[in-house]
Amino acid sequence: METKYSTCAFCDGRCAVKAEFDGERMRVLPASPDVPAICSKAGLIDEYRLHPDRVTVPLKNVGARGEAQWREVGWDQALDEIAERLQAVVAHYGPEAVAFAEMPTNMGFGGITRRFMNCLGTPNYTAATQLCMGNTAQVHRATYGWFASADWAHADCIVYFGQDRDGERWPVEYLALGAALDRGAVLIEVDPRETDTAKRADYHLRIRYGTDAALLLGWINVVIEEGLYDRAFVEGSCIGFEELAARVAEYPPERVAEICGIDAELVRETAHVYARSQAAIIPWGVVGDMQRNSTSMLRCQCILRAICGFLNKSETVFGPSLGGLTNAQLAAFDLLPPEKRVLQLGRDIHPLLTFEASDLYREANAREGVPYEPDILGESCACDPAALFAAMRGEGPYPVKAVFSVANNTVMSYAGQQGIVDGFMNQDLVVAFEHWMTPTAQLADYVLPGDMWAERDVLGSQFDSAPFFSCGQAFREPVGACKNWYYVVKGLADRLGFAERFPWRDEHELYDYRLAPLGLTWDELVEQGRAKNDPVALGRFVTPSGKVELASSVLADLGFDPLPSYEEPADPGRDACPAGTYPYEVFAGFRERKSYNTNLHQIEALRSQEPEPQFFINPADAAGEGVADGAWCVVETAYGQVELLSKLDEAQPAGTLRVPHGWWKPEAAQGVAAGLSAANLHNDGMLFPDADWNLDPAQGVPNLRGGIHARVRAR
């Protein structure tokens, strides 16, 4: 029996899986019996890849944009025409008028798109990680110089902010959590909802939506006021402690309790539990990535890890690495002309994830002997999405007129969805690299059929965070004319005159090139399964000061407060209406167990279990609105509305609503006039604006996690 190994990409849980073959029959199992993590999605590879609605040949739109009149074309014709139209945009507007939005884990390559962009001469790149871990990494970087990773194997205290793990959502972490609790670890769950994970917690802090930063400031206040911090580490490895102490003195537990809506003694007690632990962890969770106070919340988490002495004990800061070529080295940012670098959209507005911030680490990188510009989790050198979409609409410092959406349903992935649609409608060229006719693909001139994760050999990770290479083997051959993303990039590079920067005939030659400094080939990596780079700064901090920056010099140099704080989110649309017009605070991002963001709604075995988009409402609130369980309702903010099924849920705090993310209906009519297969009817991006007042000032991430208000009415 033949066995192959890979990493499942049906969600971002990234479970290691293996496929056992008995002739044509394939069985998908956990890669190791020691980590039996797998969900129901992993066994549906063939249902996904062979689905009749999958795009398996290149398609060209022969109608007006958004009308979705498709004609099959060959790969050479598609790439010839794309290259010709791309050259026309560059000639007329300049290369900065070309932008890319992608998700590397969905298409299997990190760094290669940025290399192409740097050769072309455009700095305008964004990835979905701008709202999900990539932005967290940049806040970590401003504090430590790199991203911090939790050590689950030794954790004796886990602090979760909104995470609700189970066998269908991040099964690996779910198992790690169970093992830690079995060892006697303490779980502190911070979540307004009483989730299944919260029911397992020793402490459940049901704070008010969006007040996480205030709670964390209160914890830091207790730790410092009561002398619970690691004095030796603070004095030897940190800067800014005195300024921090003065700031958090403004957040005593009593004030924090009032802001968060919980008891002050609970603030004190949980601060004690965390600080007195031997190996506490605060695992990453997406809740902190889409708040008005995101930078402050994440900075507070970073500060707690540091002052309580958990860095490089239970939370590891690897730093950049040398050896095999990283994704950032492959990107080769030095190829981008300096005069184009400074044109990056948003670097003057929300700069923490842009080249503007990356420049501030040059001396630190040189000090540690790092000969390239790092790009942590794909968002160290990225443009600001809101500024990008504005430029696509013609509202920026210069126009963006060509957009590539690469394995990323861009239209549905950010706030201000209608404005994003308007931006796509204003383009001269839109190319989608996709599996399905997604709402974004429906706005494209060309839809290029991409391979899926089980049809490709993958050199991982696609994001630089830890110094390891992994390999994923193809379980099946690509369906139809589906190709991998490197085929597209090389095809365009060859046609545009920079073939010498892409000399590798295929992905395997590229992988051999990246692994050569380690004395390995792709085939040899497959045999051994994993390879390690040299983390050049392990145990050190690649910040401008060389220390943990409790008061961040990077934030200060960018014109922001170097210390965390808490600010009540704004909702000017609500405030302009009569009192009570929008009575419910709304929280976006509920993830169903049977889908992943905007994907998997096509798969009948999954869709039949969660056939319609639902929002959660407290039964008392539903009774007051006259809304029955399972009724179609309109949920409306001052900025837009969606239609969702009601789900009456005692766990939902009174006066609040929770809405799902990523809903469209592949079976619904395509095209702009039809609402893009119901994306404009159901997706949460219709409810939240990407106006500047609703963005975290430093990062530019939108606030979806409390502070925006809604009303409900039966449809």
Active site residues: 12
Strands 468-472 and 70-72: unpaired
Identify the sign of the CA torsion 172, 175, 181, 184.
Answer: negative
Residue 663 CA, chain-centre distance (Å), reads 17
Measure Cα distances from 585 to 190, 217, 580, 639 in Å.
17, 23, 12, 14
For 482-527, give the DSSP string. Answer: -B-HHHHHHHHHHHHT-GGG---SSHHHHHHHHHGGGT--HHHHHH
Identify whether the C-beta of residue 256 lies closer than 8 Å to the C-beta of residue 215: yes
Q: Is 331 within 8 Å of 111 (Cβ atoms)?
A: yes
Identify the three-state secondary structure at position 181: helix
Supply 673's token pair.
């006039």
Long-range Cβ pairs for the range 609-612 (8 Å, 24+)? 612/644, 612/645
Beta strands 25-30 and 59-61 are unpaired
Q: Distance from CA of residue 502 to its chain's centroid? A: 28
- Cα 314 to Cα 116, 190, 201, 537, 587: the distances in Å are 38, 20, 20, 17, 31
What 3-state DSSP class applies to 703? coil
H or E stretch at 315? strand 315-317
Element (H, E) at 460: strand 458-460
Determine contact, residues 690/710, Cβ cutoff 8 Å: no
DSSP 361: G
Neighbour-count burial of 19, counting CB atoms closer than 10 A to its CB (0-12 exposed, 13-18 middle, 19+ buried)? buried
DSSP string, 24-75: TEEEEEESBTTB----TTGGGHHHHHT-TTS--S-EEE-SSTTS--EEE--H
Residue with tokens 């139209």: 85
Inter-residue contact 59 to 71 (CB < 8 Å): yes
Handedness of CA 593, 183, 199, 703 (dihedral sign): negative
Sign, Cα dihedral of 624, 629, 634, 637: positive
Q: How far apart are CA 526 and CA 531, in angstroms?
A: 10
φ/ψ region of 102 (left if φ > 0, alpha if ψ in -120 to 50, else beta) reads beta
In the numeric block, which tokens belong to residue 330?
Answer: 């492959």
Alpha carbon distances (Å) from 643 to 64, 653, 689, 711: 28, 21, 17, 12
CA dist list (Å): 31 to 7, 158, 453: 9, 26, 16
CA distances (Å), 555 to each of 211, 538, 544, in order? 21, 23, 11
Greatest alpha-carbon pair distance for the chain in Å reads: 70
Q: Where are the alpha helices (DSSP H) in 294-392?
A: 294-307, 327-331, 338-341, 355-358, 362-367, 385-392
Beta-strand ranges (E) seen in 357-445 are 402-406, 429-434
